[in-house]
Chains A and B, each alone.
Chain A
């Protein structure tokens, strides 16, 4: 079996930004930090941040308004969710399955735990 080490930094940064959008920390049409500001905060080469922003722009998650800066797109949240869903199904789930197999955890156990988790989650939201 081959397992890749961690992802390229620009992708990790892109995920961090999509997570910020999904969690509602940044909402649609919010201005996000400039390339330079982000480079300073993350202690990362500004060219890498520029790459991250281009990548997110290609996905339509953020927009560059010339002369003003970068903003979360009007449908940024839906697109961010779609992008993270794909990533989860393609790369995170196989890792999860690998652990299941390795530890002899069957699907029913996971299903039960998931039901319990969902019930608790719903209760927490009601509180």
Chain B
């Protein structure tokens, strides 16, 4: 469990998080979406205990990340977007760092290394950006830590590796684990992330499972906007409009992340009221 209450954080004079609150449960692969500069990386770093909040209560598995308790750190793996790796080989790295993770799965580690075609006899510092990422990903998955934070994990990965990445993440989910994937590349993780978190204007403005999203919202194609009631969001397309409206029947439809994200960012109050059971008109 991760619980955050009234988190505040500033970067110099810029207020980044304003009373941000959030609860995350085990057994899920959360997708953290947000515009550039929304604070996704900072948010992950705060969860990892790498930077400290100004105020607010944060509990990750019962620990306060900023205290950096070893019992907390052995349950956490953070894959940053930028990293440097030492001039040693994969096996040596494992020898030094794996002991920090009591549940480290050595067999799985070497399995992943070979699945990613990473050379075991070259120095990690000589790896390309993508190879380094694959290496850290292998280590993180094998660590069996209960919290796995992945910052833009598909960035810099080639096409076949993205496929492999999805398979590996799908296979790594367990009832005990919380995986958080922060990303702009929503198409890379389209059917993988669930629930979706959207960070905007200093807060988590959206935290819903895709199942609930499909219960409440639906995407339709209409020829004109005037004959459709309660439009929450619309996009002009060559053959009409793509609109997000409240789902009026029991059938569920797929909503792509890009449309959902745009709808939430453009009309946060309308979307929120749809999820709280009201119709968009009632909020007026």
A41 neighbours in B (Cβ, 8 Å): 167
Query: Does A78 make an interface contact (CB < 8 A)?
Result: no
A38's nearest neighbour on chain B, judged by CB, is B170
With a CB–CB cut-off of 8 A, which chain B residues contact A12?
A: 254
Given contacts A43-B191, A44-B191, A45-B191, contact A3 B254 (CB under 8 A): no
In the complex, the answer to whether A40 meets B170 with C-beta atoms within 8 Å is: yes
Closest residue of chain B to A46 (Cβ to Cβ) is B173
Shortest CB–CB separation between residue B42 and chain A, in angstroms? 26
B106 within 8 A of A: no
Q: A95-118: contact bitstring with B at CB < 8 Å (1 yes, 0 no)?
A: 000000000000000000000000
A43 touches B253 (CB 8 A): no
Q: Which stretch, B9-17, B86-94, B221-229, touches the partner chain A?
A: B221-229
Q: Are the C-beta atoms of A4 and B219 separated by less than 8 Å?
A: yes
Which residues does chain A contribute within 8 Å of B27, judged by CB atoms? 47
Task: Assess A9 versus B170: contact at CB under 8 Å? Given A3-B220, A43-B192, A48-B194.
Answer: no
Known contacts A5-B253, A7-B254, A51-B211; is A39 also within 8 Å of B219 by CB?
no
A68 at interface (Cβ–Cβ under 8 A)? Answer: no
* CB contact between A44 and one of B170, B214, B219, B222 (< 8 Å): that residue: B170
Interface size class of B (residues with CB under 8 A): 20 to 34
Assess the B253–A7 pair: CB atoms within 8 A: yes
Contacts of B266 in A (CB 8 A): none
Contact between B163 and A7 (Cβ–Cβ < 8 Å)? no
Chain B residue contacts of A39, Cβ below 8 A? 170-171, 173
Cα–Cα distance between A97 and B221 once the two chains are bound (Å)? 17
The A/B interface has a contact count, at CB < 8 Å, of 76
Residue from the set A5, A42, A48 with the largest chain B CB neighbour count within 10 Å: A5
Are B167 and A40 touching (Cβ within 8 A)? yes
Which chain B residues border A86 with CB–CB below 8 Å? none
Pair A48/B191 contact, Cβ less than 8 Å: yes
Chain B residues whose CB sits within 8 angstroms of the CB of A43 once the complex forms: 163, 166-167, 170, 191-192
A50 to chain B, nearest CB (A): 10
How many Å lie between the Cα of A85 and that of B255 in the bound state?
Answer: 25
Residues of A within 8 A of B210 (CB): 9, 48
Residues 230 to 259 of chain B near chain A (Cβ within 8 Å): 242, 251-255
In the complex, the answer to whether B253 meets A36 with C-beta atoms within 8 Å is: no
Complex: chain A residue closest to B167, CB-CB: A40
Cβ-defined contact, A7 with B221, below 8 A: no
CB distance from A95 to the nearest CB of B (A): 12
For residue A1, CB closer than 8 A to chain B, the reply is: yes
Interface assignment of B28: CB less than 8 Å from any CB of chain A: yes
Instruction: For the complex formed, measure the closest distance between the CB of A12 and the CB atoms of chain B, giving whole angstroms.
Output: 7
User: Chain A's nearest CB lies how many Å from the CB of B33?
Assistant: 15
User: Nearest chain B CB to A11's CB is how many angstroms away?
Assistant: 7
* A-chain residues with CB within 8 Å of residue B252 when the two chains form the complex: 7-8, 10-11
19 contacting pairs across A/B (C-beta < 8 A): A2-B222, A3-B221, A4-B218, A4-B221, A4-B253, A5-B254, A8-B253, A8-B254, A10-B252, A36-B171, A39-B170, A40-B170, A40-B171, A41-B167, A43-B192, A44-B191, A45-B170, A45-B191, A45-B192
Which residues of B approach A to under 8 Å, CB–CB? Answer: 27-29, 163, 166-167, 170-171, 173, 191-194, 210-211, 214, 218-223, 228, 242, 251-255
